[in-house]
Amino acid sequence: MPIIQVQMLAGRTLEQKSELAEVLTRETARITRCSQADVQIVFDEKAHASWAVGGRLVSGHASAQAEQG
């Protein structure tokens, strides 16, 4: 039974997560040759203030880009 954990920044719509779940389920079942009913997906959404890229919090990254652009 494949279990997929998806960590991502918060803010995706229910429709986006639903589509991602459908595609990941379908392709995982195809590749692993298991039933789609056996594929489990867990979405773990993080606040922008809790995620850093390149040593900078993502929450500050957007405002810094806006100032530069």
Q: Is residue 69 a part of any domain in this protein?
A: no
Q: Which CA distances in Å does 57 have to 7, 11, 34, 36, 50? A: 16, 16, 39, 37, 7
Which residues span the domain enclosing 41?
A: 3-64
Q: How many domains does the chain have?
A: 1
Question: 35: domain CATH number?
Answer: 3.30.429.10
pLDDT of residue 17: 98
Place of tokens 């379908």: 26
67: confidence class by pLDDT, cuts 50, 70, 90: very low
Note the pLDDT tens digit of each residue in 27-53.
999 999 999 999 999 999 999 999 999
Classify residue 49: in a domain, yes or no: yes
